[in-house]
Structure formats: C-alpha cells, structure tokens
Amino acid sequence: MRYRLCVTTATLVLLVVGARADEYAVPAWELPPPNTDPFSTPFFQPSNSSEHSPNVRNSALVDAVTTHDPRAVTLPSEVVGARACCCNYTTWAIMELLIGRTRGPSVAPIVTTGPVSAGAFAGAIGQPTTLPLFGGKRILDDWRSGLRIELGAWLDSSQQSGIGLRFYSLFTANEQFRSASNNRIVINVPQSVSAGPIAIQIPAFVNFPGASTGRAAASAETMFAGGDVNWRYLINRNEWGRVDTLVGYRQLHLVDSLGSNFNVASTAPASESFLASPQYAGADSVHTRDNFYGPQLGLCASVGVGRFWVEGHATGALGVTESSLDFARSRTGVVASNPAAMLATLGAPASATNTVMAAATNHVPTMQSNVANRLSYFGVVGEGGVRVNWRATDHVRFTAGYSFLYWNNVRRAQEMFILGPVLRPQAIDFTTHLFSVGLDLRF
C-alpha cells in the first residue's frame, strides 16, 4: 500500500514539472521583417492613422499604442475657460450699482454772517467772528449713487481676443442755501473791488438789524460720467487664471456750476428816507464743462478658485481735455422813488400828491460782465480697480469691487469763483472713489 502511494505521488510531481517545462519551452514570437524602407517611412505610426494599410500586419509598436482614449491631462485653456468664462459662454453683461464720491472743490465764502457788534465788519472775510453760511470750504464731496454697465463678447472660440464696452456715471450732486427773512441776524454777501493792486472788500448786507433786509440764495452742482471701449488680447494663462492686455479709447465728461443771487432793501421808514428808497441786487453764474478724449492701454488679470473669481485692471490714457467756461455777473442799483417825500421837499401841499405821478423806478446797472472761452489741456487719466465674483450658476454671478480714477487739468466752476469781477484762472486735478455691487450675466 505504501509502495502504491509513493508511485502515485512521484507520477503527479513528474506531470506538474513537465507541464511547467512545456510552458517555458514555447518559442518567442519574432517580429516580421519590414516590408518598407525604414529610412523613408515613419518608425512610429498609430493604428488609426489614415496612412495605415489594413493589409499590413501591425508591428509591436503599433499594437502598443492605445487609440481613441481620452487625454489624461486637461489643457490649461480648457480649465480657464470653464472657470473664467463659465462653460465657454461667449458674451457677458455686467450691471453695477455705484456708491462713490469725487474730489470736492473749494469754494470762496459766498454768504456769511457775524455779530451786529462788528458793525461794518460783520461777516467780513478774515474776521475771527465771521461764519460762512455757504462756501468757505470744500463742497460736493459727499457719497452719492451711480450706475455702471459693461457689455462684452469674445471674438473666437478659444477666447484669446474679445471686445468690451463700458459706461458709468455718478448721479448729479448739489448743495443749496436760501436765507430766510430775519431782521435779527446779519447776512452778508461779500463783494470785492480792485483799487489798483489792492482788493477792497465791500459788504452787501442782505440782512442787518435796523438797516436793511433782503434775501440771498446760492447753489452748486456737479455731474460726472465716462465710458470706454477696449480690445483685450490674451497674454498668458494657466489653470488658475489669465492675463490680458487692453487697448482702447476713453472719454470722460464733467459738468460743474455755481450760482448766487441777492437783493437788499433799506428798512428805513418812508417818512425818514430822503426822496428815494435805495435797493441793491446782484447775481453770479459760473458754468464749466470738461471733456477728455484719448487712447488708453492697460492690463487685466484674473484668478479663480472654486466659485470665486478675482479680477484686477489698471489702465492709463493720454489725450486732450476740452474745457469750456461761461461766466456772468451783474450788479444793479435800484432807486425807488418816494413821491410823498419828494413833494414835501418841494413845498407842495399834501393834496397835490394825488395829481403828481410817482417818478419811475430807476435801475442803475453798476456792473455787467460776461465771459465765455474754451481751452485745451494735455490730459492724463489713470484708473485701477479690483472686483470679486461669486458664481451662483453657470449664467449668473454676483460682483463687488472698488475702483479709483485720476484726471488732471480740469476747470471747475466752484474753484474758479472769487469775490471780484474776474475768475481764478487755474486747472486742478480730479479724482473719484467708487464702490460697486452688481450682477454679471454670461450667455
């Protein structure tokens, strides 16, 4: 029994060893000899190539090539397109609400007040007791609302070049002053006349207790708007973002105005006035309009992670600023006749008053001036800003950002006005600070 078991075991071992030997004894398959000249045909040729002949047996190199498989690495342009352009949509529209402010112009004191005890110097500029009621500081520098709209489109499927158009505006801002009829306080509209090289300050007391009464009003207004069109071209991009150059044209528009008027009448009783009751009136009006035209060059960069995308831009423009000015000033003395006092002075009886017509009121212009001109300045405009985008859907994004704009050589009506009959001939710098929130649509 033991002998049979040993024979059976030995037989199984020999069978297994023989099978393994036969497996390794299979001869290696050799490549067939090439049927073409290896120096004139490609060494490596995919099996799905149009030049591959179906009658020729594939070589080992051909068999080793995997065909129709997707790329293992996504191109950076496809990553950026999916993030920055939201599923490769080719057009965009951005609408933003602006909260901004502009550099406030400095205004000379137009309406002032002071204590009655100062007498003729009440409300005079330079007196320590004088308080400006309108002017004497920077005005029109409060935060105000505005609107910005941007439209754009890519010009090719790879989004290497595109065009964008923007329009933005801060709504009109104004400040006003109107005096109430009150004989208990002093209201002065300072005037200035030139006596050779010396400027002499003369008061125009709109209100002075016991002497005169009247009204004064003043107002200032400003409005700013602009727009540009840019062609953008891709400089560089990777899986995180892109950088584009901007080449375009910019235009800016700034309007400023300042106006004031007053009238003064004597409060002396008619029986005490001599022949006539004097009055005095005046009005000033200054308007300026500045327009910038010029080409611009800049950069736009963007980077994103997940649903968030941050964009930044910086541009500079060189061109011309066309500035126009209109200035009008008038001062009129009004002499209102007093018939009763006139007849009494001439010794006529009181009964003759009804038969004598009152003398016509005489308007005596003491000053009339009108100035209008147009000047051109070399203009420089710079802008920079940053905007954060949050992608809510493939078509909708919410945005928030900040931008700053600088513009040199502008004439502003409020800065040019002085007390005298001429204006201050100067151009100043203009700046804006803008915060924005809005909606970005991609389609």
pLDDT by 10s per residue, the chain, length 443? 444 545 555 554 455 445 444 444 445 555 566 565 555 555 545 545 444 445 545 444 444 444 444 444 444 444 444 444 445 678 999 999 999 999 999 999 999 999 999 999 999 999 999 999 999 999 999 999 999 999 999 999 999 999 999 999 999 999 999 997 777 899 999 988 877 778 788 899 999 998 889 999 999 999 999 999 999 999 999 988 999 999 999 999 999 999 999 999 887 665 444 444 578 899 999 999 999 999 999 999 999 999 999 999 999 999 999 999 999 999 887 655 555 544 444 454 555 445 444 444 455 667 788 999 999 999 999 999 999 999 999 999 999 999 999 999 999 999 999 888 788 888 999 999 999 999 999 99
Q: Specify the pLDDT at position 420.
A: 80
Give domain limits for the chain.
Answer: 2-64, 79-104+139-182+217-442
Distances in Å between the Cα of 200 and the Cα atoms of 119, 121, 203 are: 17, 12, 10
226, 168 Cβ separation under 8 angstroms: yes
Let me know: does 214 contact 146? Beta carbons within 8 Å.
no
pLDDT of residue 180: 79
Tell me the pTM.
0.74
User: HSE on the CB side for 278, CA within 13 Å?
Assistant: 10
Question: What gap in Å lies between CA 175 and CA 168, rounded to an integer?
Answer: 22
Find out whether 168 and 223 touch, Cβ atoms under 8 Å: no
Strand intervals (E) in 14-142: 91-102, 106-107, 111-113, 131-134, 137-138
pLDDT of residue 216: 95
79-104+139-182+217-442 under CATH 1.10.3720.10, yes or no: no
d(CA 107, CA 184): 27
At 202, list the tokens.
Answer: 């003369």
The pLDDT value given to residue 24: 45
